[in-house]
Protein backbone atom coordinates (compact mmCIF):
# COMPACT_ATOMS: atom_id res chain seq x y z
CA UNK A 1 0.00 0.00 0.00
CA UNK A 2 1.22 3.46 -0.75
CA UNK A 3 1.25 6.51 1.51
CA UNK A 4 -1.50 7.96 -0.66
CA UNK A 5 -3.77 4.98 -0.12
CA UNK A 6 -7.36 6.31 -0.03
CA UNK A 7 -8.24 3.87 2.79
CA UNK A 8 -5.88 5.76 5.08
CA UNK A 9 -3.98 2.59 5.97
CA UNK A 10 -0.29 3.05 6.79
CA UNK A 11 2.25 1.63 4.33
CA UNK A 12 3.50 -1.94 4.76
CA UNK A 13 6.86 -0.68 6.06
CA UNK A 14 5.04 0.91 9.02
CA UNK A 15 3.52 -2.45 9.97
CA UNK A 16 6.94 -4.09 9.75
CA UNK A 17 8.40 -1.40 12.05
CA UNK A 18 5.56 -1.87 14.51
CA UNK A 19 5.94 -5.64 14.43
CA UNK A 20 9.65 -5.31 15.20
CA UNK A 21 9.21 -2.66 17.91
CA UNK A 22 9.87 -3.25 21.60
CA UNK A 23 6.37 -2.02 22.50
CA UNK A 24 4.72 -4.58 20.20
CA UNK A 25 6.90 -7.39 21.58
CA UNK A 26 5.89 -6.27 25.08
CA UNK A 27 2.21 -6.29 24.09
CA UNK A 28 2.54 -9.76 22.58
CA UNK A 29 4.34 -11.00 25.69
CA UNK A 30 1.69 -9.61 28.02
CA UNK A 31 -1.06 -11.26 25.96
CA UNK A 32 0.74 -14.60 25.93
CA UNK A 33 1.43 -14.48 29.68
CA UNK A 34 -2.32 -14.38 30.26
CA UNK A 35 -3.72 -16.47 27.42
CA UNK A 36 -1.46 -19.52 27.47
CA UNK A 37 -1.69 -20.31 31.21
CA UNK A 38 -5.43 -19.58 31.28
CA UNK A 39 -6.05 -21.76 28.22
CA UNK A 40 -3.99 -24.54 29.80
CA UNK A 41 -5.91 -24.32 33.07
CA UNK A 42 -9.25 -24.33 31.32
CA UNK A 43 -8.33 -27.27 29.08
CA UNK A 44 -7.08 -29.24 32.11
CA UNK A 45 -10.32 -28.45 33.98
CA UNK A 46 -12.39 -29.52 30.95
CA UNK A 47 -10.33 -32.69 30.48
CA UNK A 48 -10.88 -33.53 34.15
CA UNK A 49 -14.62 -33.13 33.63
CA UNK A 50 -14.60 -35.38 30.55
CA UNK A 51 -12.43 -38.04 32.20
CA UNK A 52 -14.56 -38.09 35.34
CA UNK A 53 -17.71 -38.34 33.24
CA UNK A 54 -16.23 -41.27 31.34
CA UNK A 55 -14.39 -43.19 34.07
CA UNK A 56 -15.95 -42.16 37.40
CA UNK A 57 -19.64 -42.89 36.84
CA UNK A 58 -20.27 -43.56 40.51
CA UNK A 59 -18.74 -40.30 41.64
CA UNK A 60 -20.37 -38.20 38.92
CA UNK A 61 -23.79 -39.72 39.60
CA UNK A 62 -23.58 -38.96 43.33
CA UNK A 63 -26.69 -36.99 44.25
CA UNK A 64 -26.15 -33.67 46.00
CA UNK A 65 -29.78 -32.61 46.38
CA UNK A 66 -32.76 -34.29 44.76
CA UNK A 67 -31.74 -35.25 41.23
CA UNK A 68 -28.89 -32.72 41.19
CA UNK A 69 -25.65 -34.72 40.79
CA UNK A 70 -21.93 -34.02 41.00
CA UNK A 71 -21.75 -34.43 37.21
CA UNK A 72 -24.40 -31.78 36.69
CA UNK A 73 -22.59 -29.49 39.13
CA UNK A 74 -19.29 -29.95 37.27
CA UNK A 75 -21.06 -29.32 33.95
CA UNK A 76 -22.56 -26.08 35.24
CA UNK A 77 -19.18 -25.07 36.67
CA UNK A 78 -17.81 -25.28 33.11
CA UNK A 79 -20.06 -22.35 32.23
CA UNK A 80 -19.11 -20.50 35.40
CA UNK A 81 -15.41 -20.94 34.67
CA UNK A 82 -15.90 -19.69 31.11
CA UNK A 83 -17.57 -16.51 32.36
CA UNK A 84 -14.90 -16.11 35.05
CA UNK A 85 -12.09 -16.40 32.50
CA UNK A 86 -13.85 -13.87 30.27
CA UNK A 87 -14.21 -11.43 33.17
CA UNK A 88 -10.57 -11.90 34.18
CA UNK A 89 -9.41 -11.37 30.59
CA UNK A 90 -11.42 -8.15 30.24
CA UNK A 91 -9.92 -6.82 33.49
CA UNK A 92 -6.42 -7.85 32.41
CA UNK A 93 -6.82 -6.40 28.92
CA UNK A 94 -8.22 -3.11 30.19
CA UNK A 95 -5.30 -2.70 32.59
CA UNK A 96 -2.35 -4.28 30.76
CA UNK A 97 -3.09 -4.60 27.05
CA UNK A 98 -5.36 -1.77 25.94
CA UNK A 99 -3.18 1.15 27.13
CA UNK A 100 -0.14 -0.26 25.33
CA UNK A 101 -2.14 -1.07 22.21
CA UNK A 102 -3.53 2.47 22.24
CA UNK A 103 0.00 3.92 22.44
CA UNK A 104 1.09 1.77 19.50
CA UNK A 105 -1.98 2.87 17.53
CA UNK A 106 -1.30 6.53 18.34
CA UNK A 107 2.31 6.16 17.19
CA UNK A 108 1.10 4.74 13.87
CA UNK A 109 -1.59 7.36 13.32
CA UNK A 110 0.51 10.33 14.52
CA UNK A 111 4.13 9.64 13.59
CA UNK A 112 5.07 13.32 14.12
CA UNK A 113 4.34 13.00 17.88
CA UNK A 114 7.01 10.28 18.28
CA UNK A 115 9.90 12.68 18.14
CA UNK A 116 8.23 15.26 20.39
| Predicted local confidence at residue 15, as pLDDT | 80
Contacts of residue 20, defined as CB under 8 A and 6 or more positions apart, other chains included, come to none
| Predicted local confidence at residue 6, as pLDDT | 59
Residue 8 CA, chain-centre distance (Å), reads: 29
Q: Is residue 10 scored above 70 in pLDDT?
A: no
Contacts of residue 96, defined as CB under 8 A and 6 or more positions apart, other chains included, come to 30, 34
Residue 58 CA, chain-centre distance (Å), reads: 36
Domain boundaries, the chain: 29-108
Mean pLDDT of the chain: 88
Distance (Å, whole) CA 70 – CA 32: 33
Q: The whole model's pTM is what?
A: 0.76
Question: Counting beta carbons within 10 angstroms of the beta carbon of residue 27, is it exposed (0 to 12), middle (13 to 18) or buried (19 or more)?
Answer: buried
Amino acid sequence: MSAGDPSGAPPDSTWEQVHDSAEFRQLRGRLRRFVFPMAGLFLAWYLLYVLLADYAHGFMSTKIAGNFTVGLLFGLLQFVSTFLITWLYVRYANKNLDPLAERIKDDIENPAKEGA
